Structure 1
Amino acid sequence: MVKKNEIIEVNIDRVDFPNKGKAYYEGQEIRFKGGIAGQKARIRISRKKKEYLEAKLVDIVEKSSIEGESGCPHYGICGGCSYQTLTYEAELKYKEGQIIKLFEKAGLDINYLGIEGSPLVHGYRNKMEYTFGDEEKDGPLALGLHMKGRFYEVVNTDECNIVDEDFTSIRQHVLKYFQVRGTAFYNKRRTEGYLRHLVIRKALSTGEILVNLVTTSQDTLDKEEFVDMLVKLDLKGDIKGILHTTNDRLGDVVVAETLELLHGRDYIIEEILGLRFEISPFSFFQTNTFGAEKLYSIVRDFVGDKKSNLVYDLYSGTGTIAQILSPVAEKVVGIEIVEEAVEKARDNARLNNLDNVEFMAGDVLKVVDDLKEKPDLIVIDPPRDGIHPKAINKIIDFNPETYVYVSCNPVTLVRDLKVFAERGYRINKVKLMDMFPRTP
């Protein structure tokens, strides 16, 4: 009988979505986060439950047969990517198997159309949120991603391959700028220091770049000198805006208590499927631009060419899907709870000269009660929690001919689809789109 905190060696039997490893030891099931099926791993028992044990992954002793060598020198230290040792073909097959298993477990009969890979596997991200810190206690200033399984230590990601070279260049020069000046990072243990995060956004279609430095108010920034350093960089893209965010909150989350524009404008413009979208520092936008183009092309293909009188786009965010569907509808109504996102959606609709798209600010759960017109089509793109349990039957009560459900969480997707099936709807087709290569 294993004991709490005991470290044991196991063969990882399988990894279920989302990244839930399972193994067996002396007949007992053990669950833990991470790993790849087929790996031999050391795990530390953390909790005993009635039907299984919980554990934490300590390290990998032996690779899985589906693994090769990592193409990233930070792999194993950085907490950013888990699938760097898989070929992309193997990664897609691995992810596909996890999702199909969810549908099978839920007893849902589907017409499965396969998985689409990301157009870019390397350099695909259009946003990175770097953290200031140190790689070891009291070591030199670092700027990058958190170490694997660590909350305080940071890895300098000089050769990160999921971003293009402009991200790396900006990150390196900002780090050097503050190293030379001896500026202190914000220490979360002591709640003191200045530098917190560096957020970089780059529109991959247009090359426009937005840089946002996040600090506390415990020091001052030489704004003119900082801007001058950045605008002189030799980049492939073009820095359109530099911002300074002040955040004195205790949580390790990028929020703006104050936001100051230091240079240029406070947004960049990205292009997707012939439409232009303004992206501000805190706007939600798919982090894989070219993957998003494929995703929205799938949505448009599922909708078809038949023109609808009225389309509802629920959980519409900044209105990307609503605007992409505007050519096949007399009217599209988007509903989104975040007011800033609604304002940005309206701005983008004006930018694209679309007069048949409108957006409403409010909680889908409440707003659907006020919608009186019956739509021909409803597109649903909810957050990771899926459709609110109290809202789903209200949405089904509209009884349109077709729903298109876009999901970022297959677990809540199959949960919600079971309700649709119970109400008489048939799942016509399912297609997967990998938006995050190298990650679960």
Structure 2
Amino acid sequence: MKKRDILELKIEGMEFGGNSYGYIEDRRVDIKGGITGQTHKVLIKKIRKDKVEAKSLGIIENSPIEKADICKHFGECGGCSILSVPYEEQLEIKEGQILDLFMEKDFVGFKFLGVEGSPKFHEYRNKMEYTFGDEEKDGPLTLGLHKKGRMYDIITVDECFLVDKDFREVLKSTVDYFQSTGLPYYKNLTHKGYLRNLVVRKGLNTGEMLINLVTSSQVKFNLDEYVNKILDLDIEGKIVGILHTINDGLADVVKCDKLNILYGRDYLYESLLGLRFKISPFSFFQTNTKGAEKLYSIAREFIGDEKDKVIFDLYSGTGSIAQIVSKNAKKVIGIEIIEEAVEAAIENAKLNNITNCEFIAGDVGEKVKTLKEKPDLIIVDPPRPGIHKDALKDIVKFNAKEILYISCNPKTLVRDLAEFKKANYDIVKVKGMDMFPNTPHVETVVLLTRK
């Protein structure tokens, strides 16, 4: 085996994050994607002492465990990598991946409660961020998700299993309309063009929908006809706002230079475990509403019924966790670096008549040093990279009796747990929550207690 060889690889196992591996000439070979039991044609890219990296050139043979229904986009679209695996087996795969990561760190003596499944494993997402483009160079306008492994090719996912009929109708209507206008899509290489993204949000418990068309400022175009077309759609949800966001940034991300309200309002409401949340176009909210209710119920169960605790909620976002656990607390203090999220958290607390929550805008690592109150319990729900090492040291200094760690990335979770273990904390309970069915991702909730 040498670099640039094209060989066959039988997938022997899957790791968290979407990578898989097999063996060629007794050497472990890692690829992106892949399902245990599949056979791939692979291109050998790197040969190192400890491992070999390859790129899949296509599936030669499917896995015996691929028995589930798939949408017509599966295999081309980069959205769902394990949609073909029955849902119960997806949960077993994720349980094994979490336990493997814990065993690699020699974590023992904790209670593992498995991975709880999402109440819905199809049509569960409450937000989709679509991109305008084409499926092939100079082809007709498309609107949807990136093709698997392709940076620029976009496939119109009008039969996607991740979202309900309302999303699909808005997507189809939007791409049909803009195909008829002949307007150019924005090209990231040249930074020229008009149409950039379509962001659709829906309160799955309230039915309220927010449609946000994102363009550059390079073309002046009257969008009244588009607005009327969207409002005329026969959908189950209620469209409460149609927005036009101007984004002239060079990066391939949705950001707002200017926001115009074309119809209605620039927010929607969603309910979660009896509480009501106001969600603005760019505020973070868990993308799986029904799954979030399960996730926060697990968090509340791990915290227990004592109501005299002072709780710090670090990386608090729009304050959904803080407000949900506030019934189990004397006081909750949330810290979040994004000011807009903090403003939303304060507003949502008022909306729900919650008076024992305080929210602070700022960097967690800096703000925790300024807090005079001492927490009985600290909740950490960091982004995918985990807790910054300096912030982790400051968290430990509070000497809280308990820490509840909610993680969207078990790899950085176990790294941080090793540091908490060094600081005299024991892992008591671990439970996974599958917030992202048909994808390689999973949330994990861990309760730690101070020795």
Residue 73 (structure 1) shift = 0.9
CA distance in 1, matches of 2:337, 2:37: 43
Counterpart of 2:91 in structure 1: which amino acid? L
Output the TM-score relative to the length of structure 2: 0.95
Corresponding residue for residue 321 of structure 1: 321
Please give the residue correspondences for 1:279-428 in structure 2 after superposition, counting only pairs within 5 Å: 279-428=279-428
How many residues align? The count is 439
Q: Secondary structure at the match of 1:298?
A: helix
CA distance in 2, matches of 1:308, 1:414: 30
Listed one character per residue, the Cα deviations across residues 338-395 of structure 1 (whole Å, up to 9, x for unaligned) are: 1111111111111111111010111111111111211111111111111111121221
Corresponding residue for residue 165 of structure 1: 165
Please give the residue correspondences for 1:142-153 in structure 2 after superposition, counting only pairs within 5 Å: 142-153=142-153
CA distance in 2, matches of 1:33, 1:232: 42
Residue 6 (structure 1) shift = 2.4
Q: Secondary structure at the match of 2:349?
A: helix
Residue 58 (structure 1) shift = 1.5
Corresponding residue for residue 9 of structure 1: 8
Q: Secondary structure at the match of 2:403?
A: strand
Corresponding residue for residue 177 of structure 2: 177
CA distance in 1, matches of 2:70, 2:223: 38
CA distance in 2, matches of 1:402, 1:187: 49
Please give the residue correspondences for 1:103-122 in structure 2 after superposition, counting only pairs within 5 Å: 103-109=102-108, 110-122=110-122
Q: Secondary structure at the match of 2:12?
A: strand
User: For structure 1, which segment, 150-159 or 20-29, has the greater mean C-alpha deviation from structure 2 after superposition?
Assistant: 20-29
CA distance in 2, matches of 1:126, 1:437: 13
CA distance in 1, matches of 2:62, 2:225: 48
Is residue 310–residue 332 contact of structure 1 (8 Å, CA) maintained in 2?
yes
Corresponding residue for residue 84 of structure 1: 83
CA distance in 2, matches of 1:117, 1:152: 33
Corresponding residue for residue 55 of structure 1: 54
Q: Secondary structure at the match of 2:330?
A: strand
Counterpart of 1:405 in structure 2: which amino acid? Y
CA distance in 2, matches of 1:147, 1:220: 30
- Structure 1: which 5+ runs fail to align? none
Is residue 335–residue 364 contact of structure 1 (8 Å, CA) maintained in 2?
yes
Residue 189 (structure 1) shift = 3.2
Is residue 94–residue 115 contact of structure 2 (8 Å, CA) maintained in 1?
no
Task: Quote the RMSD (CA, aligned, Å).
Answer: 1.2
Corresponding residue for residue 264 of structure 1: 264
Counterpart of 1:216 in structure 2: which amino acid? S
Output the TM-score relative to the length of structure 1: 0.97
Q: Secondary structure at the match of 2:427?
A: coil
Corresponding residue for residue 444 of structure 2: none
Q: Secondary structure at the match of 2:74?
A: coil
Q: Secondary structure at the match of 2:428?
A: coil
Q: Secondary structure at the match of 1:282?
A: coil
Counterpart of 2:261 in structure 1: which amino acid? L
Counterpart of 1:408 in structure 2: which amino acid? C
CA distance in 1, matches of 2:253, 2:234: 30
Listed one character per residue, the Cα deviations across residues 225-277 of structure 1 (whole Å, up to 9, x for unaligned) are: 22211112111001111111111222211111111111111100000000011
Residue 27 (structure 1) shift = 2.5
Listed one character per residue, the Cα deviations across residues 190-219 of structure 1 (whole Å, up to 9, x for unaligned) are: 332211110000000000000000111121
Listed one character per residue, the Cα deviations across residues 36-66 of structure 1 (whole Å, up to 9, x for unaligned) are: 1221111112223332222212111112222
Residue 323 (structure 1) shift = 0.3
User: For structure 1, which segment, 18-27 or 191-200, has the greater mean C-alpha deviation from structure 2 after superposition?
Assistant: 18-27
Listed one character per residue, the Cα deviations across residues 62-95 of structure 1 (whole Å, up to 9, x for unaligned) are: 1222212542111011111011110001111111
Listed one character per residue, the Cα deviations across residues 165-205 of structure 1 (whole Å, up to 9, x for unaligned) are: 00000011111111111122112333322111100000000
Q: Secondary structure at the match of 1:391?
A: helix
1:231 aligns with 2:257: no
CA distance in 2, matches of 1:262, 1:187: 25
Listed one character per residue, the Cα deviations across residues 401-426 of structure 1 (whole Å, up to 9, x for unaligned) are: 21111110101111111122222211
User: For structure 1, which segment, 393-402 or 347-356, has the greater mean C-alpha deviation from structure 2 after superposition?
Assistant: 393-402
- Structure 2: which 5+ runs fail to align? 441-451
Percent of matched pairs sharing the same residue: 55
Residue 20 (structure 1) shift = 1.9
CA distance in 1, matches of 2:68, 2:408: 29
User: For structure 1, which segment, 20-29 or 139-148, has the greater mean C-alpha deviation from structure 2 after superposition?
Assistant: 20-29
CA distance in 2, matches of 1:189, 1:366: 38
